[in-house]
């Protein structure tokens, strides 16, 4: 006969334990207790893991890239900050088939691309465009070649040329395109915001402005960095993503503009290989709406759009992510197969989206509401919960450094516990000289506790953690910081 105590334990394990791995969809927040953060990209990794990439946001004086690695159920594996790259903006990121991550953005004031290995350690960091800063930006991986693009500042306060640069996986520069597309004015303003590629071509969309003139453009390059076509796009106010369906059908995710109020609305513009418009679809029912990402699921013939929507509320406006699914070819943006809004949170920065190998939608962004300045990750299909209130396993965490990953085995015992203490055992191949222990409840609150007994020597540590007050039954997160920089995590149950 199952007692009430063990029925309660089973329920807790279902909420906070191994059975969470069986859940196919989730929405999770990852609150760094030490600093504010947001994410702009999500990358599927090998072994059914996911990477969220973004930056911490400690004002404009000091910023650094962050990488959060989770398993397929959203449980955090690693949360690192690249503190060597301060004053850095991260605009986007991609992962290769081995799980290495490439980020593009502005680092130390210059256009830069960084490669991180499978343990989130910096492999190489390169600048491109020669003394250029970078505004916006995107990167892609095509046949082991990394292509980064954006708009560059050249020794002025003006973003006055397009930058596209290619690197191999070792960080060697293959070519770098710097162009004004024939504009003769001294200071046109350029930016590439969306870039994609197939085996034949590189496709990009962006913006160009000069005195009295502003438009979005489409350009096509070969894989040697030579411009094949350039065309200015009608109808478009902003173009944020580009997706080649085939060599002569390229979809641009954009926004149009509604005059006279200049309210933006979502738009998909299809062009041929030279930039001639084939189809223009728009939906003005959602004003102040940008199409940030477009993804094509060829197996199901579904086109997904991620929009950044401004929603007016009492006292101001909030921005939320909205995912829409359309049967391809799309004939009416106002008639999706389904459409869901990520509710209960407010975006802080542009959102990101990808598909994993099983066809699930991955969506990330930085939340400001209900979790000030913390990233979230949504793994979803049409039946998933898109409301942040469905996050029942709020992850509070600090940061760890990837410079020298700790090879260690952590054991918490007994587990579950019935008394007011638990014990820790750590075995590592590295010397252990400092250990700090923190215990959190599932609401992220730190539980008062102290290390009553401990033994430490070489790569071994044993400790007994006692709670100051009687501990209530429930599920708890144990965070252990080794040597001041390596974070280990465990789950503990009190029954």
List, for residues 402-415, the tens digit of each pLDDT value.
545 566 778 889 98
As a whole number, mean pLDDT of residues 250-277 equals 78
Six-digit token pair at 63? 């910023």
Q: Is the pLDDT of residue 106 over 80?
A: no
Q: How many CB atoms neighbour CB 492 within 10 A?
A: 21
Q: Where are the alpha helices (DSSP H) in 73-194?
A: none
Query: Quick one: pLDDT at residue 61?
Result: 44
Average pLDDT on 168-188 reads 78
Greater model confidence, 486 or 129: 486
Mean pLDDT, to the nearest integer, of 473-480?
86
Q: State the pLDDT at residue 216.
A: 81
The mean per-residue pLDDT over the stretch 322-347 comes to 90
Choose the weakest-confidence range: 52-56, 57-61, 280-284: 57-61
More confident: 432 or 202: 202
- Work out the average pLDDT over 38-63: 81
State the pLDDT at residue 131: 47
Pairing of strands 421-428, 460-467: antiparallel
More confident residue, 63 or 29: 29
Domains of the chain, earliest start first: 24-397 (2.130.10.10), 408-494 (2.60.40.10)
Task: Please check whether residue 352 is in contact with residue 41, taking contact to mean a CB–CB distance below 8 angstroms.
Answer: yes
Q: In what order do the strands lie in the sheet with 37-45?
A: 37-45, 49-56, 65-70, 76-81
Residue in the structure block whose two tokens are 């953005």: 105
For the chain, the average pLDDT equals 79
pLDDT of 486 = 77
Which conformational region is residue 221 in: left (phi greater than 0), alpha (psi within -120 to 50 degrees), or beta? beta
pLDDT of residue 41: 93
Place of tokens 């002569």: 248
Task: Say if residue 79's pLDDT is above 70.
Answer: yes
Tell me the DSSP string of 29-94: EEEESSS-EEEEEEEEEGGGEEEEEEEE-BTTTB--EEEEEE-TT--EEEEEE-TTS-SEEEEEEE
pLDDT in tens, 415-449: 889 999 999 998 887 777 778 898 988 777 889 99
Coil/strand/helix, residue 9: helix
pLDDT at 207: 75
Give the pLDDT mean for 236-257: 82
At residue 146, does pLDDT exceed 60? yes
């Amino acid at each position: 006969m199952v007692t009430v105590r063990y029925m309660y334990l089973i329920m807790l394990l279902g909420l906070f334990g191994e059975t969470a791995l069986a859940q196919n969809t989730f929405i999770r927040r990852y609150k760094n207790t030490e600093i504010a953060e947001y994410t702009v990209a999500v990358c599927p990794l090998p072994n059914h893991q996911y990477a969220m990439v973004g930056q911490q946001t400690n004002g404009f004086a000091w910023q650094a890239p962050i990488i959060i690695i989770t398993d397929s159920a959203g449980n955090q594996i690693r949360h690192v900050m690249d503190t060597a790259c301060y004053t850095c903006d991260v605009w986007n990121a991609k992962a290769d088939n081995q799980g290495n991550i490439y980020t593009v953005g502005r680092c130390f004031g210059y256009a830069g691309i960084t490669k991180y290995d499978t343990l989130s350690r910096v492999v190489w960091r390169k600048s491109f465009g020669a003394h250029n800063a970078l505004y916006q930006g995107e990167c892609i991986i095509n046949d082991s070649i990394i292509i980064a693009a954006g708009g560059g500042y050249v020794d002025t306060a003006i973003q006055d040329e397009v930058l596209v640069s290619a690197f191999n996986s070792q960080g060697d520069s293959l070519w770098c395109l710097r162009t004004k597309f024939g504009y003769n004015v001294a200071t046109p303003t350029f930016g590439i915001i969306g870039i994609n590629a197939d085996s034949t071509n590189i496709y990009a969309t962006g913006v160009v402005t000069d005195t009295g003139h502003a438009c979005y453009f489409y350009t096509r390059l070969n894989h040697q960095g030579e411009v094949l076509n350039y065309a200015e796009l009608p109808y478009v106010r902003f173009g944020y993503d580009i997706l080649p369906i085939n060599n002569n059908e390229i979809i641009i995710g954009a926004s149009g503009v509604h005059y006279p109020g200049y309210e933006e609305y979502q738009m998909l513009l299809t062009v041929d290989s030279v930039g001639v418009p084939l189809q223009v679809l728009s939906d003005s029912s959602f004003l102040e709406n940008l199409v940030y990402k477009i993804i094509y699921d060829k197996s199901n013939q579904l086109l997904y759009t991620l929009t950044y929507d401004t929603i007016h509320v009492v006292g101001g406006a909030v921005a939320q992510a909205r995912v829409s699914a359309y049967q391809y070819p799309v004939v009416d943006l106002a008639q999706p197969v389904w459409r869901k809004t990520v509710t209960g949170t407010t975006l802080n920065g542009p959102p990101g989206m990808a598909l994993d190998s099983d066809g699930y939608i991955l969506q990330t962004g930085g939340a400001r509401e209900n979790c000030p300045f913390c990233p979230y990750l949504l793994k979803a299909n049409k039946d998933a919960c898109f409301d942040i209130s469905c996050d029942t396993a709020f992850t509070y965490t600090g940061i760890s450094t990837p410079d020298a990953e700790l090879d260690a085995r952590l054991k918490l015992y007994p587990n579950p516990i019935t008394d007011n203490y638990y014990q820790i055992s750590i075995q590592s191949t590295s010397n252990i000289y400092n250990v700090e222990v923190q215990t959190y409840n599932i609401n992220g609150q730190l539980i008062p506790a102290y290390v009553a007994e401990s033994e430490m020597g070489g790569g071994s540590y044993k400790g007994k953690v006692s709670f100051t007050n009687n501990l209530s039954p429930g599920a708890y997160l144990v965070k252990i910081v080794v040597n001041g920089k390596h974070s280990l995590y465990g789950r503990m149950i009190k029954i």
